[in-house]
Amino acid sequence: MRVMEIPRFRRKIEIPDLDNFIRTRLSQTVVMWPEQAIPLLGYMCWPNDGEARKDFERTLRSWRGASETAPPTVPGKLGRIQHDWLRIADVLHVMCDLAEGRHQARRGGPSVGKAVTLVEAIAKSWGTSAASLWKNWSNYKDVAHLVAAATLICAEARIKSRNRPFDPFGLSVNQIVPFQMAMLMPDLVLAVALEFERLGLSVVPHARTEPTLDPETLWRIPPDINVVPFPLPIRKIRAQDLVVLNNRRAGNRGKANLRKTTPVSG
């Protein structure tokens, strides 16, 4: 079992009003919790490369203002990483929707394979073929709960910004990306990720003995992080989506069984 090395928040973080929390944080650019945000981003970007993770964290700490008053500009190389995060978020969130809605019980229950099939069927953007989705899942599955949380919060923040822009000194809608959510609101990202982690470790696909998120390689959130879990928005699975799953042929499930061993690094 692997547990992330992220310092405990000095006070208990509970978020009773999500709208007010997001609007308050993103209406300014103060990095309130750099000691939590920087290692969190290190794990999210480089889950299984300890040296790259350390180098990345050193880079974040060296950016002027990263620990004082302003979030750093997202480097270009993170564009691709964040694009892959979106696909991971799609897969994990759909899997949770299937699990919480108790769908596909007669067909083995929810699984990553079913989520990949559904995301591929309904997504219109580049990089959503089944092969690409499985590749991304292999690369980031051990931090899937973290990147899904940051991506979900990002989508919610963009909606709020379009409806009513944040204060002039805050983020514009174009600056609202998953990276910035983790930098400016690591406590909220961890609160949501705790629920993704709980669900991912509790759902065991049919004919398997391991849950959706591998309990041995998953980067778990420290149990004493001092953050209260935030409930996930569970979406309804549409009738046409269930048709896609019901028509899913056995031949389309082959890649789900090709499990790769994730290298364990500190």
User: Which pLDDT score, from 0 to 100, does residue 132 have?
Assistant: 87
Q: For residues 249 and 186, which has the higher predicted lDDT (pLDDT)? A: 186
Q: Is a pLDDT exceeding 60 seen at residue 244? A: yes
Beta-bridge mates of residue 220: 3
Model confidence over 7-22: pLDDT tens digits?
999 999 999 999 999 9
| 60, 35 Cβ separation under 8 angstroms | no
Max intra-chain CA distance, the chain: 55
Name the nearest CA neighbour of 184 among 196, 176, 194, 192.
176
**What predicted TM-score, i.e. pTM, was given to this entire model?**
0.82
Percent of the chain with pLDDT over 70: 76
Any residues with CB less than 8 A from the CB of 203 and at least 6 apart, and which?
A: 95, 96, 99, 109, 110, 211, 212
| 121, 237 Cβ separation under 8 angstroms | no
User: Which pLDDT score, from 0 to 100, does residue 252 have?
Assistant: 47
Model confidence over 139-176: pLDDT tens digits?
999 999 999 999 999 999 999 998 888 888 888 888 89
Mean pLDDT, residues 181-202: 94
The phi-psi region of residue 207 (left if phi > 0; otherwise alpha if psi is between -120 and 50; otherwise beta) is left
Sign of CA dihedral 65, 81, 124, 94: negative
Q: For residues 235 and 191, which has the higher predicted lDDT (pLDDT)? A: 191
Q: Is a pLDDT exceeding 90 seen at residue 184? A: yes
Helix axes 144-163, 78-100, angle to 10 degrees: 100
Q: Where does the pLDDT of residue 75 fall: very low under 50, low under 70, confident under 90, or very high at 90 and above?
A: low
Q: How many residues does the chain have?
A: 266
What is the average pLDDT score of the chain? Answer: 82
User: Which pLDDT score, from 0 to 100, does residue 168 have?
Assistant: 83
Any residues with CB less than 8 A from the CB of 250 and at least 6 apart, and which?
A: none
Task: Measure the CA–CA gap between 59 and 96, rounded to whole angstroms.
Answer: 34
Coil vs helix vs strand at 228: coil
Q: Of 56-70, 220-234, 247-261, which range is least confident?
A: 247-261
Alpha helices in the chain (DSSP H): 18-26, 34-45, 50-62, 78-100, 112-122, 130-140, 144-163, 178-184, 186-202, 239-246
Q: Where does the pLDDT of residue 194 fall: very low under 50, low under 70, confident under 90, or very high at 90 and above?
A: very high
Q: Is a pLDDT exceeding 80 seen at residue 106? A: no
Sole residue written with tokens 């945000």: 37
Mean pLDDT, residues 118-124: 77
Task: Measure the CA–CA gap between 135 and 96, rounded to whole angstroms.
Answer: 20
The angle at the Cα of 153, spanning 149 to 155, to the nearest 5 degrees, equals: 120
Q: For residues 205 and 172, which has the higher predicted lDDT (pLDDT)? A: 172
Q: Where does the pLDDT of residue 64 fall: very low under 50, low under 70, confident under 90, or very high at 90 and above?
A: low
| 38, 60 Cβ separation under 8 angstroms | yes
Mean pLDDT, residues 58-67: 69
